[in-house]
Structure 1
Amino acid sequence: MINQVYRLVSPRQFEITYKDKSLQSDNVVVRPTYLSICAADQRYYTGSRGKETLAKKLPMALIHEGIGKVVYDPKNEFAPGTRVVMVPNTPTENDDVIAENYLRSSKFRSSGYDGFMQDYVFLKRDRIVPLPEEIDPTVAAFMELITISMHALVRFETRAHSRRNVFGVWGDGNLGYITTLILKKRFPESKVIIFGKTKYKMDHFSFVDESYLIDEIPEELRIDHGFECVGGKGSQSAINQMIDIINPEGSISILGVSEYAVEINTRMILEKGLTMFGSSRSGRADFVNTVNFMTEHPEVVEYFSMLVGEVHEVKSIQDLIDAFEKDLTTSWGKTIMEWKI
């Protein structure tokens, strides 16, 4: 069959590419229904990744956050119309020690490999996870982002010591919101504190125990473990602030992406005996855990819906451009595309 792929060919310019795909393989064919725009997609769209990177990666279909419906399964394991979450990480090998999202051989959609902006996406059957009908599709659209926090928390539980009285999360954006919410649900007896720069964003964090602007932190405040969800240049001050107020032998989980190297206070890391670890992307197990988490705690879906910004119906290339341009002016939440092109 002929499949239409909507590729970014240069900053702010999309073109349709036609690819001949076979139905004789073992792949499950999924029609995307709701897609979510990520900051990484925007860096490609606006050309801010740099000329060398763009020359290597483009042309490429964007978007790695999305859900869809099964159109065809050669093994009939998934009935037509089954709602599924699409897993963007695509491993090419197995490793007994290294997780699929850290294998250098793995491919990741919308990062040098076509993303979900297609008429149909052909996926290995382990790259889809069934999605309960009761979960809001506009929330499920950015489930990949939620899985990143879930993945970091699973790693935290295997690496951090057992004293978990106070958690601190730095970053008042989407990732900080998701991380604090999951922390509060997984550790209901613990105190969860959000640290941020923007008061109106922090007002959305109604479920946390305490909130502080980063320049108004009480001198006596201490945390047992910290999560950095800032990214960019701001991650440097966030990490160093964590190092200052964390208790000895605590852990610091780094989730924010920075394009540049940052300086951190290694002297105090040594003096306090801190554990610092990074987490990036996620794998199938994290998607399964997240779907189960949202099923077991249906109230979190309502909280996550606070992150739904505008929902754009996309029926044309111009609609696509409009959605990306509008997303650039959005200061809170996620831009969702209802994929009808």
Structure 2
Amino acid sequence: MINQIYRLVSPRQFEVTYKDVNITSNLVVVRPTHLSICAADQRYYTGTRGEEAMKKKLPMALIHEGVGVVAYDPSGELLSGTKVVMVPNNPIEEDKFVAENYLRSSQFASSGYDGFMQDYVLLNRNRLVVLPDNIDMNIAAFTELVTIATHAISRFEHISIKRRGTFGVWGDGNLGFITSLLLKKIYPKCKVLLFGKTDYKMSNFSFVDEVYDIYDVQANVQIDHGFECVGGRGSSMAINQMIDHIKPEGSMSILGVSEFPVEINTRMVLEKGLIIIGSSRSGVADFEKTVEIYKQYPEVIDYLSILVGNVLKVKSIEEVTAAFDLDLSSSWGKTVMKWGI
């Protein structure tokens, strides 16, 4: 079978390439239906990822957030038409101490390896998680982003002390929204405080207990544990404010990605005996747990619908470019491409 792959060859320029694939192998053939644009994809698209990385990783098909339907499973285990979420992380070794998403040898779609912008994606069966039949695929498209929060909370649960009174989440964007939402569902008896700076974004966090403008937080506000979902140049302020308001021996989960070194107040980290937990990407177990959360708390899907921003039918490379450009101008929510090429 000849598969068409839509690769970024230089900033803002996509080209179609053709690859002969063997559908009689053990790989499951999936037809992507809904693809969600991530900030990491945008860094490649705009050329801001860095000259060295661009030279090393392009040409490459973008997108690592996506869902689709099974077109063909040689084992017959997955029926044609089954809705699935595609796991972008592909480990090639096992380590009983290190999770698959932290192994340096793991292959990650749209980061040095082709992502999901293809006519068909061929994946190992254990890289697919079956979705509920009635799920809104526009929302399911960014399940990978939800798994980032799921993974961070799992690491927090494993590493931190057991005081579970009050959580603080820094960041009023998509990841901050998802992390706050999952914390409220997983720890219903706990308080969740949101720290942000944009009023219209913070107005979407109707489910949290308290909302604070980061420039107007009283000194007596305290949290047991914090989650940083800011990233970029704002990471330093967010982490240091978290250090100021966290109780001794609390944990700080760092989720935001920054291209620059971040300065933090290590003196108070030491004095308070704080735990810093780094979290990046996710593994298949996080996808499975996230889908179970969808089933257990169907209202989570209702809340996540707020994050659906632009939904565009894409049938050409020109329309892909238009979708990426529109996403750049969007200040809230996720841009989803209904994949019809």
TM-score range, shorter chain: over 0.9
- After TM superposition, list the pairs within 5 Å mapping 1:125-136 onto structure 2: 125-136=125-136
Which residue pairs with 2:26 in the alignment? 26
Give the Cα separation in 2 of the matches to 1:166 and 1:66.
33
Which residue pairs with 1:113 in the alignment? 113
1:275-329 Cα shifts (integer Å, max 9, x gaps) = 0110000000000000000111001101000000010000001110110000000
Give the Cα separation in 2 of the matches to 1:179 and 1:9.
34
State whether structure 2 residue 139 is matched by structure 1 residue 139. Answer: yes
Offset, 1:49: 1.0
- After TM superposition, list the pairs within 5 Å mapping 1:158-177 onto structure 2: 158-177=158-177
SS of the equivalent of 1:223 reads coil
SS of the equivalent of 1:153 reads helix
Which residue pairs with 2:61 in the alignment? 61
State whether structure 2 residue 183 is matched by structure 1 residue 183. Answer: yes
- Any gaps of 5 or more consecutive residues in structure 2? none
State whether structure 2 residue 93 is matched by structure 1 residue 93. Answer: yes
Offset, 1:138: 0.5
Which residue pairs with 2:212 in the alignment? 212
Residue identity matched to 1:152:
A
Residue identity matched to 2:286:
D
- After TM superposition, list the pairs within 5 Å mapping 1:1-341 onto structure 2: 1-341=1-341
Residue identity matched to 1:226:
G
SS of the equivalent of 1:282 reads coil
RMSD after superposition: 0.5
Give the Cα separation in 1 of the matches to 2:71 and 2:39.
29
Give the Cα separation in 2 of the matches to 1:159 and 1:207.
26
SS of the equivalent of 2:247 reads strand
- Any gaps of 5 or more consecutive residues in structure 1? none
SS of the equivalent of 1:233 reads helix
1:105-127 Cα shifts (integer Å, max 9, x gaps) = 00000000000000000001100
Give the Cα separation in 2 of the matches to 1:53 and 1:292.
36
1:145-179 Cα shifts (integer Å, max 9, x gaps) = 00000000001001111111110000000000000
- State which drifts further: 145-154 or 213-222: 213-222
Residue identity matched to 1:237:
M
Give the Cα separation in 1 of the matches to 2:282 and 2:300.
20
Offset, 1:219: 1.5
Give the Cα separation in 2 of the matches to 1:236 and 1:165.
25
SS of the equivalent of 2:101 reads coil
Offset, 1:24: 2.1
Residue identity matched to 2:221:
L
Give the Cα separation in 2 of the matches to 1:189 and 1:164.
9
Give the Cα separation in 2 of the matches to 1:252 and 1:323.
35
Give the Cα separation in 2 of the matches to 1:228 and 1:32.
32
Offset, 1:51: 1.7
Offset, 1:218: 1.4
Give the Cα separation in 2 of the matches to 1:50 and 1:246.
35
Give the Cα separation in 2 of the matches to 1:232 and 1:52.
19
Residue identity matched to 2:175:
L
Residue identity matched to 1:81:
G
Residue identity matched to 2:266:
T
Residue identity matched to 2:176:
G
User: How many correspondences in the alignment?
Assistant: 341
Using structure 1 for the length normalisation, give the TM-score: 0.99
Give the Cα separation in 2 of the matches to 1:183 and 1:70.
32
Residue identity matched to 2:311:
V
Give the Cα separation in 2 of the matches to 1:242 and 1:101.
26
SS of the equivalent of 1:248 reads coil
Residue identity matched to 2:237:
S
Give the Cα separation in 2 of the matches to 1:101 and 1:287.
12
1:38-78 Cα shifts (integer Å, max 9, x gaps) = 00000000001122111101000000000000001110000
Give the Cα separation in 2 of the matches to 1:50 and 1:112.
14
SS of the equivalent of 2:231 reads coil
Residue identity matched to 1:299:
E
Give the Cα separation in 1 of the matches to 2:50 and 2:251.
34
Using structure 2 for the length normalisation, give the TM-score: 0.99
Offset, 1:23: 1.3
